[in-house]
């Protein structure tokens, strides 16, 4: 594989590739893709300190409102720790594709919950099933405490069905809009009655509130359970097509190619094995077409992690990571709604593009920037800081220099930027000083083209 193809592959399955790693890779596409999957066979769950919940019981919360309030406050604070732990795992993982898939599924099976124990458990369920059997995955999601809480699953009882999960299961998680009727929603909601969880977030099925009557769903009639509904949904090839299209837009190109998506759906529909689908994509010639290289606008997390993996930095105050995520428009564990982030062009607006263009110089040049009146970062955070961003980082230029030591400064753009630059940018690059790789790297990261991968 040529350099450009390698970089494209590693931006899709991860967050880029440093030149120092090129020589250690296998020589052909099949071997490289095999190695990517081999490295992602294991799973490393996120684990933060949740000892504040030790010994707490339901009775404690009911009898002492003060304890309940204190636990809620602590839980929200711990969500920040979970956020940091996830970011750290994205930067340092060996299970590259599994973590990238976890990031993808988090914006597919969208869930937001303030209970940190449930949030951690849900995130690890995404990670566990990220490359596994999709049918098993959907069934596991339907039983997660976080999802039951988020979409009111516990309130779904035979005498008063709640349709939230049944609707989103079809509209967002499996089939897409317009692929079901209102009756299908009502009947499937009955099948999911009785879903509940215990205090620790373990699934519990309450038969006494489950509707045991016959349901008619997608033309079939029976005493269906929630798992039965999922089985019936996945019999429809539309599910394979819908998921394949989302994966294509995320991992290949935001502009869908019906021919390629159909080919993906044919593979996926055979057994709903996510790994088999991803192997098919990554080994296909069309995946490496020029039109797909540099075709994606980096999500804020892709942008931030990619920059940190190129030039390692240590954040002296972890809370600064939350500030950056908010400025960029994507805070992990805090999706905007049940549909998640729209992605692609929605990542960029007048405010976020200013942040993106300024952030490399802010982070990598001693956290000092110019005092221009139109500086969005300054407007939000600099009034009391006299030109300095309230972000404290230690930049590891030594590792950068080691990773790029064999790259001539004039060729650095070929490794930092993805895809072809337009003529205006190409001409501009000729005017930049290339005497310092460090300075040139920051300048390259400050270009609009760096937003693409």
Residue 20 CA to residue 415 CA, distance in Å, equals 11
Residue 70: name the closest of 80, 62, 61 by CA: 61
Residue 438: name the closest of 397, 386, 383 by CA: 397
391-418 pLDDT, tens digit each: 889 999 999 999 999 999 999 999 999 9
| Angle subtended at Cα 109 by Cα 320 and Cα 239, rounded to the nearest 5 degrees | 145
Q: Read off the pTM.
A: 0.94
* Rounded average pLDDT over 289-304: 98
Decide: 248 and 256 in contact? Cβ < 8 Å.
yes
* Rounded average pLDDT over 318-327: 95
pLDDT at 389: 54
215-231 pLDDT, tens digit each: 999 999 999 999 999 99
Residue 167 CA to residue 229 CA, distance in Å, equals 12
Tell me how far apart the terminal alpha carbons of the chain are, to the nearest angstrom: 18
Beta bridge partners of 184: none
* Rounded average pLDDT over 125-135: 98
What sign does the CA torsion over 276, 277, 283, 285 have?
positive
> What number of other Cβ atoms are within 10 A of residue 105's Cβ?
20
58-105 pLDDT, tens digit each: 998 889 999 999 999 999 999 999 999 999 999 999 999 999 999 999
Cβ neighbors of 390 (< 8 A, separation 6 or more) are 320, 323, 381
**CA diameter of the chain:** 76
Decide: 34 and 272 in contact? Cβ < 8 Å.
no
pLDDT at 382: 47
pLDDT at 370: 39
Token pair in block for residue 392: 């404290």
Domain spans in the chain, listed from the N-terminal domain onward: 3-39+236-292, 300-451
* Rounded average pLDDT over 251-275: 98
Decide: 285 and 33 in contact? Cβ < 8 Å.
no
Decide: 129 and 327 in contact? Cβ < 8 Å.
no
Token pair in block for residue 5: 């193809």
Residue 331 CA to residue 393 CA, distance in Å, equals 19
pLDDT at 377: 52
Q: Is the pLDDT of residue 142 over 50?
A: yes
153-202 pLDDT, tens digit each: 999 999 999 999 999 999 999 999 999 999 999 999 999 999 999 999 99
Token pair in block for residue 327: 């400025």
pLDDT at 224: 98
pLDDT at 373: 42
Report the mean per-residue pLDDT for the chain.
94
Percentage above 70 pLDDT, the chain: 94
pLDDT at 390: 62
Residue 132 CA to residue 111 CA, distance in Å, equals 20
Q: Is the pLDDT of residue 116 over 90?
A: yes
309-322 pLDDT, tens digit each: 999 999 999 999 99
Residue 307: name the closest of 11, 105, 6, 44 by CA: 11
What are the two backbone dihedrals, phi and then psi, of residue 198, each rounded to the nearest 5 degrees? -90, -175
Residue 269 CA to residue 238 CA, distance in Å, equals 9
Percentage above 90 pLDDT, the chain: 88
Decide: 12 and 18 in contact? Cβ < 8 Å.
no
Cα 185 to Cα 132, 137, 166, 190, 222: the distances in Å are 27, 20, 6, 9, 15
Q: Is the pLDDT of residue 380 over 60?
A: no
pLDDT at 131: 98
SS (H, E, C) the chain: CCHHHHHHHHHHHCCCCCHHHHHHCCCCHHHHHHHHHHHCCCCCCCCCCCHHHCCCCHHHHHHCHHHHHHHHHHHHHHHHHHHHHHHHHHHHCCCHHHHHHHHHHHCCCCCCCCCHHHHHHHHHHHHHHCCCEHHHHHHHHHCCHHHHHHCCHHHCECCECCCHHHHHHHHHHHCCCCCCCHHHHHHHHHHCCCEEECCCCCEEECHHHCCCCCEEECCEEECCCHHHHHHHHHHCHHHHHHHHHHHHHHHCCCCCCHHHHHHHHHHHHHHCEHHHHHHHHHHCHHHHCHHHCCCCECCHHHHHHHHHHHCCEEECCCHHHHHHHHHHCCCCCCCCCCCCCCCHHHHCCHHHHHHHHHHHHHHHCCCECCCCCCCHHHHHHCCCCCCECCCCEEECHHHHHHHCCCCCHHHCHHHHCCCCCCHHHHHHHHHCCCCCHHHHHHHHHCCHHHHEC
pLDDT at 85: 98
Q: Is the pLDDT of residue 129 over 60?
A: yes
């Amino acid at each position: 594989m040529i350099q450009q193809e390698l970089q494209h592959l590693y931006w899709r399955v991860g967050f880029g590739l440093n030149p120092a790693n090129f020589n250690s890779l296998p020589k052909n596409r099949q071997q490289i893709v095999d190695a990517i999957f081999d490295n992602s066979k294991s799973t490393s769950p996120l684990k933060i300190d949740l000892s504040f919940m030790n010994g707490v019981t339901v009775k404690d919360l009911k009898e002492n409102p003060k304890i309940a309030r204190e636990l809620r406050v602590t839980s929200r604070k711990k969500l920040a720790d979970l956020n940091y732990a996830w970011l750290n795992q994205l930067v340092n993982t060996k299970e590259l594709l599994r973590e990238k898939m976890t990031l993808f599924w988090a914006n597919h099976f969208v869930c937001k919950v303030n209970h940190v124990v449930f949030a951690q458990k849900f995130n690890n369920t995404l990670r566990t099933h990220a490359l596994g059997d999709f049918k098993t995955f959907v069934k596991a999601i339907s039983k997660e405490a976080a999802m039951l809480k988020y979409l009111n699953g516990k309130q779904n009882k035979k005498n008063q069905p709640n349709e939230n999960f049944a609707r989103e299961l079809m509209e967002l998680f499996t089939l897409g809009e317009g692929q079901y009727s209102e009756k299908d929603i009502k009947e499937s909601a009955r099948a999911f009655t009785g879903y509940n969880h215990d205090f620790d977030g373990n699934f519990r099925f309450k038969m006494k509130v489950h509707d045991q009557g016959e349901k008619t769903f997608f033309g079939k009639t029976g005493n269906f359970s929630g798992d039965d509904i999922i089985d019936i949904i996945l019999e429809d090839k539309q599910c394979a097509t819908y998921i394949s299209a989302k994966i294509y837009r995320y991992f290949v190109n935001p502009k869908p190619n019906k021919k390629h998506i159909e080919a993906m759906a044919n593979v996926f529909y055979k057994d709903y094995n996510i790994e088999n689908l991803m192997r098919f994509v990554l080994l296909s010639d069309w995946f490496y077409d020029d039109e797909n290289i540099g075709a994606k606008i980096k999500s804020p997390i892709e942008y931030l992690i990619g920059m940190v993996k190129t030039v390692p930095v240590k954040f002296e105050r972890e809370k600064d990571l939350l500030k950056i995520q908010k400025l960029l428009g994507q805070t992990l564990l805090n999706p905007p709604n049940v549909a998640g982030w729209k992605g692609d062009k929605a990542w960029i607006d007048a405010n976020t593009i200013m942040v993106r263009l300024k952030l490399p110089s802010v982070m990598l040049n001693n956290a000092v920037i110019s005092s221009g009146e139109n500086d969005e970062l300054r407007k939000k955070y600099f009034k009391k800081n006299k030109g300095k961003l309230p972000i404290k980082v230690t930049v590891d230029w030594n590792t950068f220099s080691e990773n790029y030591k064999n790259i001539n400064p004039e060729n650095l753009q070929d490794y930092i930027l993805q895809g072809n630059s337009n003529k205006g940018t190409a001409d501009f690059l000729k005017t930049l000083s290339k005497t310092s790789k460090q300075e040139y790297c920051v300048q390259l990261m400050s270009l609009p083209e760096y937003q693409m991968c």
